[in-house]
Amino acid sequence: MRASSEMCSIVQGHYHSKSEIVWYVGPDRKVFAMQIGCGIDRRSYSMAYGRNFKKPHINVGIVIDGELPIIEYMKI
């Protein structure tokens, strides 16, 4: 993962069916990799190609002061 190889925090979105925060600790710093889902309606015509995919994670990623990653899910 890029966060561990470069020891810099990374945020990536639009994975659809996966959300997570992974921490990496080096000798002099702590970094994270945050993967967030998406904001789509899987029943829409444009998402018909994914009808057999896992249910998407509808959420948003927030980073406070560049150090605190948070994943907030939409109430559905």
Q: Quick: pLDDT tens for 17-64.
A: 889 999 999 899 999 999 998 877 777 777 777 677 778 888 999 999
Question: With 90 as the cut, is the pLDDT of residue 72 above it?
Answer: yes
Q: How far apart are CA 71 and CA 61, in angstroms?
A: 5
Question: With 80 as the cut, is the pLDDT of residue 10 above it?
Answer: yes
With vertex at residue 9, the alpha carbon angle to CA 8 and CA 12, rounded to the nearest 5 degrees, is 130
Give the pLDDT score at 57. 87
Give the pLDDT score at 55. 80
Q: Which two tokens stand for residue 29?
A: 């710093």
Question: With 90 as the cut, is the pLDDT of residue 15 above it?
Answer: no
